[in-house]
Amino acid sequence: MTVLGSGFLAAALLAAYAFSQHRFFTVDEFQYIHATWLVSEGEVPYRDFYEHHFPLSYVLHAPLLWSDGSFPERALGLRLAVFLWWVGCVGVASAWAARLSGDAKVGLLAGALGLLLGFSAMSAIDFRADNFGAFLLLAGCAWLEMNRGAARRGRAILGGIVLALAIAMTQKMLFVVGATVVGWWAWDALRAREGRAPFLPRPGACLAGGLAVGALALALAAAFGVLASGFEITILQAIEHEALYPAVSGWLYWKPFLAAAPISSALLVLFAGLYFVLARDGFWGVPLAVSLLGGVLVQAQYPYNYVFPCLVVALLAARGFGLSLAWLDRRFERVPAWTPLLYLLAFGLAADQGRFLLGTTSNAHQLEILSKIERTTGPDDVVIDNSGGALFRPHASYYYHHGDAHRLMFEDYFRDELVGDYRESEALLWIMDYRLRELPKPVHDYFQRHYVRVDGSLFGLGFHLRRGGKSERTTTIEVVREGDYYVFPAPVKLSSGLRREPRETDLRLDGAPLRASRVHLDAGEHEVVVAAGAPGYTVTLIPPDAFILGEEERFARELDGARAYQLLFEYEKP
C-alpha cells in the first residue's frame, strides 16, 4: 500500500505541476507579477508605484526575474515558484502527519489531498501573496504542533518567525495569525489545570520571533523612506478599500464546485470531523475556525480566501482517516486483512477532487499575447491596461491597477488625470480587459481615438481612416507619439492578397499626397484628406504582420468582440 500511495502522490505532483503551467492567469496575478518585476528593476513599492499589499512577496521573488527568458517563460517560472511553495509547505504538514500517526500512508494521503483538493487547488496555484501567506501559515502551524511536546525555545522562535513572514506577505494574515495565536494562548490558560501539553509552549519565545521580523520590516521601510506612505497605503487605505469593495458571496464559487464533487467533498469534511472526535485535540481547530471566519467576514469572499482552511481540511481528513482505521483495529478483535486497502478509497477521493481541475480555461491566449507584446515593444515602451498585464513592460500610471474600490477611492484622479497620464506615457500598446468598461467616459474616448485592434484583446497606438464616400472627406488626427507610422489598407489579412501600398490618390497628409507605406509623423494634429471611393486605411506604429484584424469597428463592438485577456475566477467550465 505504501508503494501504491507513493505512486499516487507522484501522480498528484505531476498533475498539480501540469495544472500550474496550463491554467489561465487571473487578473490579480498580473498585478502581483508586474509589481514583482518592478521591484526586480529597482523600483520601491508605495514610492514609485501604488501597491496596497505588504511587500515581502515582491522582494523574495524579484531575483527570479533577473535571469533571461521570454515573457511566457518568465511568467510560467513564477508559477513554478508557487508550485514549489505549495509542495514544500504541504510537505512539511504531511510529513508531520505521518510521524504523529506512525503511518506513512497518512502522510502520503495528506500530500495528495493537499495538492488535488479541487476548491483550493483552483486558487492555490495563483502567483499571489495570499497564497504564500496561506502556505507559510500552514507550515508554521505544523511546526508549532511539532513543538507541543518538546517545548523547545528555538522551535518556538522559528515558529513565530514563520507566522510573521506569513503576515509580511499580506496584511490579511494579521487577523488570521493574530487571532490564532491569541486563541491558542487563551485555550491554554483555560485548561492549564488539566496538565495537558499546551497548544503554544513558550509563547514569549514565539512572540519574540514574530516581533523580530516586524522590527526588521519597519527598519527596512524607514531606510527606504516608505514607512509613512507604506502605513497609509497598506493599513489605512486597505481598510477603506475593504469597506468600499463590492460584496461577493463565496457561494458563487462553492456552488459549482460542490455540484461537481459532492460525495468526495462530504467525505473529506466527515473525515476531518472524525479527526477532532477521535484525536480529542483542538489545536488545528483554532486556525481552521479563525480562517473560515475571516473568509466569511471579508466583503469579497473570493476563493483564495479559503486556500488555507481547505488545506487544513485536506490534512485533517488524511489524519482522520488514519485514526478511523486505527479505531476499527482497536474496536474489533478480528479486523479483515484487507482493511488497509481502504486507503485506495481515500486516494480515490483525491482523484475525484482533482477531476474538478480538468477542462478549465488555459493560458494559451494570454501567453500568445505576451509573446506579441515582447516582439512588438522595446524595454522602454509603455503598455496600458488595468492591472499590469504586460507584466515585464512599464505601465502608464502610478495607479496601474484599477479595481472597483480604487475607482471609488481615487475617483477624481480616474476622472480628471488618468487620460493625461496615458497621453504623456505615449503608450505603444493597450490591453483590453473587463475593467475597461468601468473606467470613466474620457478614458473610453481616448482609447477609441488613439488605438486600433491588433490581435484579440491587444490594441496598438494608431487610428483608422474610414473608407471614402461619394466625395472626399477631410479629417483631423492627433498624433500623441512621434514616429514612423505604417499605412496600409484595412482590413489586413496576409493570406488574402490585399494591397499593401496606399495609392497616392487615396490620401493626402497635410496637403501632400501620401505615396509611401510608411510615413514619419510628428506629435500634434495633422490634416488628412480621404479621396472619394478610397478604401479604409490603418495608420499605426505596429507592423502590419502583427495584425490579425485591422477592421474599423465601433468602440462598443471592440469591447464586445475582443477575447478576454484577464479573467477573474472560473469555477464553472467554459
The maximal CA–CA distance of the chain, rounded, in angstroms, is 102
Backbone phi, then psi, for 472, in 5-degree steps?
-65, 155
Counted domains in the chain: 2
Q: Is residue 360 part of a domain?
A: no
Residue 475 DSSP label: E
Q: Is residue 568 part of a domain?
A: no
CB 427 within 8 A of CB 395: no
Residues 76 and 221 in one domain: yes
CB 178 within 8 A of CB 290: no
CB 103 within 8 A of CB 346: no
Q: Tens of pLDDT along the chain (574 residues)?
A: 677 778 889 999 999 999 999 999 998 999 999 999 999 999 999 999 999 999 999 999 999 999 889 999 999 999 999 999 999 999 999 998 999 888 899 999 999 999 999 999 999 999 999 999 999 999 999 999 999 988 899 999 999 999 999 999 999 999 999 999 999 999 998 877 666 778 999 999 999 999 999 999 999 999 999 999 999 999 999 999 988 888 889 898 999 899 999 999 999 999 999 999 999 999 999 999 999 999 988 888 999 999 999 999 999 999 999 998 888 777 776 666 666 677 888 899 999 999 998 888 889 989 998 999 999 999 999 999 988 999 999 999 999 989 889 999 999 999 999 999 999 999 999 998 878 888 999 999 999 899 988 877 889 999 888 878 878 889 899 999 999 999 987 654 444 444 445 666 788 888 888 877 889 999 999 999 988 888 888 899 998 888 765 444 423 344 554 556 767 777 665 5
pLDDT score recorded for residue 548? 67
Residues 344 and 437 in one domain: no
Domain termination site, one of 355, 389, 404: 355
3-state secondary structure of 299: coil
Residues 14 and 121 in one domain: yes
pLDDT score recorded for residue 564? 65
Residues 29 and 157 in one domain: yes
Residue 467 DSSP label: P
Burial 301-318 (b: 16+ CB within 10 A, else e): bbbbbbbbbbbbbbbbbb
**CA pair distance 250, 301, nearest whole angstrom:** 5
Class of residue 508 by CB neighbours under 10 A (exposed 0-12, middle 13-18, buried 19+): middle
Cα 486 to Cα 417, 483, 518, distances in angstroms: 30, 10, 4
Paired with 488 in beta bridges are 538
Residues 67 and 169 in one domain: yes
Residues 112 and 210 in one domain: yes
Residues 408 and 516 in one domain: yes
pLDDT score recorded for residue 540? 92
Cα 42 to Cα 63, 228, 254, 410, distances in angstroms: 11, 20, 40, 26
Class of residue 41 by CB neighbours under 10 A (exposed 0-12, middle 13-18, buried 19+): middle
Residues 393 and 307 in one domain: no
The CA angle 124-128-131, to the nearest 5 degrees, is 40
Q: Is residue 364 part of a domain?
A: no
pLDDT score recorded for residue 224? 95
**CA pair distance 567, 433, nearest whole angstrom:** 8
pLDDT score recorded for residue 567? 72
Q: Is residue 363 part of a domain?
A: no
Domain termination site, one of 355, 388, 412: 355
**CA pair distance 16, 354, nearest whole angstrom:** 9
Domain termination site, one of 355, 387, 418: 355
Cell numbers for 507: 490620401
Cell numbers for 13: 505532483
CA 511 to chain centre: 51
Cell numbers for 560: 464586445
pLDDT score recorded for residue 414? 93
Q: Tally the residues of the chain.
A: 574
CB 106 within 8 A of CB 322: yes
Residues 334 and 483 in one domain: no
Closest-CA residue to 306 (of 316, 315, 296, 318): 296
Q: Is residue 124 part of a domain?
A: yes
Paired with 473 in beta bridges are 530
Residues 312 and 396 in one domain: no
Q: In which element (H, E) is residue 393 found?
A: none
Q: Is residue 567 part of a domain?
A: no
Look up the domain containing 312 and give its range.
2-355
Class of residue 223 by CB neighbours under 10 A (exposed 0-12, middle 13-18, buried 19+): exposed
Residues 172 and 263 in one domain: yes
Residues 334 and 409 in one domain: no
Cell 505576451 sits at which residue? 370
